[in-house]
Amino acid sequence: MKKTIALISGVAAAITLFLPGEAHAWGAGIHVAQGSFILDNLRLTGPAVAAILQSHPFDYIYGCISADIFIGKGYKRRDDHCHNWSVGFNVLDGASDEATKAYAYGYLTHLTADIIAHNYFIPNLLYATPATRGLGHLFWEFRADRFIRKKHWTLASEVISMHNKTNDDLIKRVMKRSRLRFGAKKMVFKRAVKLNDVMLYKEYVEKSHNSARLITRKDVALLNNYALNLIIEMLLHGKKSLCMNYDPVGTDHTIYAKRRRKLDGLSPGIFIGDSLFTVPEEIINVRHIDQEAVRL
């Protein structure tokens, strides 16, 4: 029975890697790299938050990836979407101790990073990618994660495999999910994280035509720095931060990118320089750290 369950979840995880309608953007590797950067630079976050994260680093990192456990959430606007700000702050409000608060800050860190991923990175690539490719968000998520160092993927696998019952109970209450339903999604996500490191898949992504020209390490590094600056801003100012003006789901931009591609009838020769959406100046001007260094 256990082997059957493992086989089913493994197949589901493999399908998840290529599911076109998912709302992932940064993969787990980038989210862990971002969380690790914050843990290495706690002086940037303010003393109260820094003390919590320093005491509970693994809870924080788990929060940084657990918003993506809810596979099948899509990018359409819904009140109960796991990437809504209301959900993130309900997690923080429901935290009962410092460990769950660290988890909640990680969850909010994830949502903040996805402002950049879901509103600019993914919509521009969906616009620049042939509609017949059929790989959508997940293709570009893992294409971006190829630039992430191995240690971040190893940490992602380790953290999601830890006993996280208290944090899981918290997010299940906020999301109103049953134990069985959440457990099934977490098993699929855990296996998807592990499968990302399978060499065959990496070779497939590397050989996919035009993908290397559409996204470079420099592109990802710059967008990652924008995301890191927003994360620091959110940890410093919470609901008063600039981040609250932006939708972590990226519904409007994603829908528009897909519609524009169909209307424009674009050929495969469209590159990332032909972006539909540019990062706003008010985001670019958030500079808690410099935007030139490569932090991947």
Whether the per-residue pLDDT at 210 is higher than 70: the answer is no
Helices 217-237 + 28-40 axis angle, to 10? 50
How is residue 230 written in tokens? Answer: 């927003």
| DSSP code string of 176-242 | T--HHHHHHHHHHHHHHHHHTT-HHHHHHHHHSTTHHHH--HHHHHHHHHHHHHHHHHHHHHGGGSG
The mean pLDDT value for 68-72 works out to 76
Which helix (H) or strand (E) segment holds residue 138: the answer is helix 136-145
Whether the per-residue pLDDT at 199 is higher than 80: the answer is no
For residues 51 and 188, give the distance between their C-alpha atoms in angstroms, rounded to a whole number.
33
Which helix (H) or strand (E) segment holds residue 54: the answer is helix 47-55
For residues 34 and 221, give the distance between their C-alpha atoms in angstroms, rounded to a whole number.
11
Report pLDDT digits (tens) over 214-242: 678 888 999 999 999 999 999 999 999 99
Instruction: Choose among 176, 210, 169, 23: nearest CA to 110.
Output: 23
Whether the per-residue pLDDT at 4 is higher than 60: the answer is no
How is residue 76 written in tokens? Answer: 């359409």
How large a percentage of the chain has pLDDT more than 70? 73
Dihedral sign (CA 249, 255, 260, 262): positive
pLDDT at site 159: 94
Helices 85-94 + 98-116 axis angle, to 10? 170
Report pLDDT digits (tens) over 31-40: 999 999 999 9
The mean pLDDT value for 177-198 works out to 75
Position 140 confidence tier, pLDDT thresholds 50, 70, 90: low
